[in-house]
Amino acid sequence: MDVMNFLNEVTSRYPEAISFGPGRPYEGLFEVERIGYYLDAYTRHLSEDLGRTPDEVRTLLFQYGRTNGQIHELVARALHNDEGIETDPESLVVTVGCQEGMFLTLRALFRDPSDVLLVSSPCYVGITGAARLLDIETVHVPEGERGADPEALRRTVAALRAEGKRPRALYVVPDFSNPTGTCLPLPTRHQLLSMAEEEDLLLLEDNPYGFFTRTGTGLPTLKALDRRRRVIYLGSFAKTCFPGARVGYVVADQLVQAADGSRTFLADELSKIKGMVTVNTPALSQAVIGGMLLTHDFRLRAANKPAADFYQQNLAVLLDSLDRLLPAERREAAGISWNAPEGGFFLTLTLPVPADNALLERSAREHGVIWTPMRCFYPDDGGGRSQMRLSLSYLTPEHIAEGARRLAGLLEECCV
């Protein structure tokens, strides 16, 4: 967390610097005027499609609501269209952002001190932070060039079992992961599913960036391939609709035994926990996201084409600029490299020198460019010490080009 604080501090001290730091979505595509439109679309749906009376519509918008949410059927339709995920709406919990979804899922699954959460290393800080809050032991498993490594995972599981621990679940972002930008190949997805079945693990699949691909189609999610209910799918509308709504969801279709002996969805367990955390997801937020789903005919992937094009352009500008400024021979000689993701918000740049606070400070002060030290995403004693995460989502193409020029200046100075 200290690295993150330092990053924030540097950002506020050098407001003129171009920042490859924030993983926020681009704002230029948001329109304040549309909020009312989406709200209307949702209330029209309630009255015209579902036959709700005006009093019932009022209750749905203003009153305490169903703990698991009121737009679960709409979300299930979008999952069918966009991801080929078939899900019973009753197995879906609408949450206050994906973060609450992670929190509820961890709280529901991890009850014994011997339960261990596996994460790929490096890893998104939202899941490790939630685990820390719940005193859940987290074990980082190094990932390879192409993301999660099933063999390393299998060895880790065996070692943990030998210690008397119970690896309970693996958190994974198969599509353009935060922070590295890697995308899990299809065979690895199948391997993870097989391993989950063999090792009695659950896979917590987080998928905020799947729509933002160069190819436009992408690979099937783990959940779409899941035949054994091994995958808990953590959904987010932060990047595909907007973050300020704070609406996410969890598909938890695993069958569990309820207190009275009947079988229910794991979603119902999450719901009980949610009742004691936020009671229910705000109706207004659900209504606006519901209105967006209705307006776009439950096809958010298509609706996000302009956003996907924008991010793809940024990615192309960044990769092209870096390649032009630091041609292959020159960067190889210097020990500089970067990956070339097919989509998403992030890429990883590797240096021959530490990408630490001192370099970040110098980068901001002398070159006017900011980035995230990759070690933020490792445990304290972990790796990433000579890597940076570059985020391309929040800048315009012009700023990306200029930022790449500044970054190359830094790299020329300290590495070449």
Task: Establish if 65 lies at the interface with a copy of itself (CB under 8 A).
Answer: yes
Q: How far is the CB of 86 from a copy of itself (least distance, A)?
A: 29
Q: How far is the CB of 329 from a copy of itself (least distance, A)?
A: 41
d(C-alpha 129, C-alpha 125), whole Å: 6
Task: Establish if 110 lies at the interface with a copy of itself (CB under 8 A).
Answer: no
Rg (CA), the chain: 22
Task: Establish if 48 lies at the interface with a copy of itself (CB under 8 A).
Answer: no
Between 54 and 144, name the residue whose CB sits nearer to a copy of itself.
54
Task: Establish if 39 lies at the interface with a copy of itself (CB under 8 A).
Answer: yes
Task: Establish if 50 lies at the interface with a copy of itself (CB under 8 A).
Answer: no
> Could you tell me which stretch among 136-144, 239-247, 295-303, 349-357 binds a copy of itself (CB under 8 A)?
239-247
Q: Which of 61, 225, 316, 376 binds a copy of itself (CB under 8 A)?
A: 61
Two structure tokens written together for 263: 């079988």
HEC readout, 97-109: HHHHHHHHHHHHH
Residue 168 backbone dihedrals phi, psi, to 5 degrees: -105, -40
d(C-alpha 230, C-alpha 223), whole Å: 8
Task: Establish if 55 lies at the interface with a copy of itself (CB under 8 A).
Answer: yes
Tell me the H-state helices in 141-282: 150-162, 186-199, 222-225, 266-275
Note whether 281 and 95 are within 8 A (CB). Answer: yes
Task: Establish if 245 lies at the interface with a copy of itself (CB under 8 A).
Answer: yes
> Could you tell me which stretch among 179-187, 278-286, 375-383, 405-413 binds a copy of itself (CB under 8 A)?
278-286
Q: How far is the CB of 83 from a copy of itself (least distance, A)?
A: 23
Between 1 and 333, name the residue whose CB sits nearer to a copy of itself.
1
Q: Which of 9, 13, 86, 133 binds a copy of itself (CB under 8 A)?
A: 133
Residue 227 backbone dihedrals phi, psi, to 5 degrees: -105, -10
Q: Which of 16, 64, 257, 263 binds a copy of itself (CB under 8 A)?
A: 64
Note whether 71 and 93 are within 8 A (CB). Answer: no
Residue 400 backbone dihedrals phi, psi, to 5 degrees: -60, -45
Tell me the H-state helices in 248-395: 266-275, 283-295, 300-303, 305-325, 328-334, 357-367
Q: Which of residues 68-107 bind a copy of itself (CB under 8 A)?
A: 96-97, 99-100, 103, 107
d(C-alpha 239, C-alpha 342), whole Å: 17
Q: Which of 8, 9, 13, 30 binds a copy of itself (CB under 8 A)?
A: 30
Between 131 and 369, name the residue whose CB sits nearer to a copy of itself.
131
Q: How far is the CB of 256 from a copy of itself (least distance, A)?
A: 16
Q: How far is the CB of 262 from a copy of itself (least distance, A)?
A: 12
Note whether 94 and 249 are within 8 A (CB). Answer: yes
> Could you tell me which stretch among 49-57, 151-159, 320-328, 375-383 binds a copy of itself (CB under 8 A)?
49-57
Q: How far is the CB of 146 from a copy of itself (least distance, A)?
A: 29
Q: How many residues bind a copy of itself (CB under 8 A)?
A: 54
Q: Which of 63, 215, 257, 262 binds a copy of itself (CB under 8 A)?
A: 63
Two structure tokens written together for 5: 């604080």
d(C-alpha 333, C-alpha 338), whole Å: 14
Q: Identify the sign of the CA torsion 130, 135, 137, 140.
A: positive
Task: Establish if 206 lies at the interface with a copy of itself (CB under 8 A).
Answer: no
Q: Which of 6, 73, 89, 129 binds a copy of itself (CB under 8 A)?
A: 129
* Residue 378: C-alpha distances to residues 126, 283, 414 (Å): 12, 37, 24
d(C-alpha 49, C-alpha 7), whole Å: 49
**Which residues sit at the interface with a copy of itself, rule CB under 8 A?**
2, 24-25, 27, 30-32, 35-36, 39, 43, 54-55, 57-65, 96-97, 99-100, 103, 107, 126, 129-130, 132-133, 238, 242-247, 259, 273, 275-285, 288
